[in-house]
Amino acid sequence: MTTALLDLVDLPPQIASEWPDQLIVVQDNTTAGMDPTLLFNRVWCLDRFLKYYYGRSPWVERSYAPPSHAMVLPKGAKVPAGAWPIFLLDVSDQPGAIGYHADTNTFASKVGPSGIHSHRGMGTDANGKESPFSNCYMQTAEQDGVDPLEVMGHEAAEMLVDPYVVNEGELRKVSGPNKDFYLVEVGDPVQGRGFDVFAPYGKVSGFVLPDIIYPGWIGMQQSRHELTLAEELVGAPALLPFVLAGGGYQSVAPESEPTNWTQVYGQDHPAAQKAAQEYGDTTQGQA
């Protein structure tokens, strides 16, 4: 594990970037309303993740994606101009196991046995400008034993790296092995490798952040040898490029059919068997 990120936490948190800082706002729209202290703590952890962990990753270092920070958006308030929102909701009404494009306006991003933990789409801000948004389903995630903060972090990082995933002409993809396109979704390939927000300091907070791939995992240039955030910060097992973590998944499409997206799964992913039954054979391990 390298300690470069930990040594810099008391300095300005983000690497100089060609991109302007992107504000992400989190609005609690759950029916009962989240405990205010819990909401504050989750958004504080998300902000720390964006500033100190994602914000010092090769995504920002190489100006592949913008730096970012997070703050709470009061319930009922309009999304500020230029901000990208994460809406916290109760229960997903979409089935689990798959992570393909749901339709032309939303993308099922993080999934589990109980249903979709989160999905992304395009909305409008206070000025009526089109902007990305994410919905995160708190109860659905908890039913699957997943910390809602991990879902929030997953969505935030993926919005920042590939904000227009629902627009086929603008989604971010790269060429990979076997003449396939890979959708650049930074949380999916390493799903199940979340870590405590204070684990890099040898402490436990009880709040779990997501692992994310680094650009080198999909063949993009970077200077560090680690290919994921958790590998760098907490010594998670190293992954080879294009090789999924056990619980990971990846959207791929043949270069000859660039809009025909399907899903492949890591060997431990709970959807692998179901997907094989419903959609045919799935390649496991290497995406």
Please give the chain's pLDDT, 287 residues, in tens. Answer: 334 434 444 444 556 677 889 999 999 999 999 999 999 999 999 999 999 999 999 999 999 999 999 999 999 999 999 999 999 999 987 766 444 334 446 677 777 788 888 888 888 888 888 889 999 999 999 999 999 999 999 999 999 999 887 777 788 899 988 889 999 999 999 999 999 999 998 999 999 999 999 999 999 999 999 999 999 999 999 999 999 999 999 989 999 998 888 888 888 876 665 555 555 554 444 55
**Residue 287 within a domain:** no
Backbone angles phi, psi at 22, to 5 degrees: -100, 120
**Residue 284 within a domain:** no
What's the CA gap between 61 and 44, in Å, rounded?
Answer: 23
Q: What pLDDT was estimated at residue 99?
A: 40
Cβ-based burial of 179 (10 A; exposed 0-12, middle 13-18, buried ≥19):
exposed
Q: What pLDDT was estimated at residue 94?
A: 75
Mode of pairing for the β-strands spanning 180-183 and 249-254: antiparallel
Tokens 């958790």 label which residue? 230
Q: What pLDDT was estimated at residue 4?
A: 41
**Residue 285 within a domain:** no
**Residue 121 within a domain:** yes
Backbone angles phi, psi at 223, to 5 degrees: -95, -25
Q: What pLDDT was estimated at residue 254?
A: 93
Total structural domains within the chain? 1
**Residue 250 within a domain:** yes
Backbone angles phi, psi at 123, to 5 degrees: -130, -155
Separation of CA 133 from chain center: 13
* Amino acid making up residue 49: F
Contact assessment for residue 21 and residue 66, using Cβ atoms and an 8 Å cutoff: yes
DSSP at 80: P
**Residue 85 within a domain:** yes
- Structural domain range at position 119: 4-279
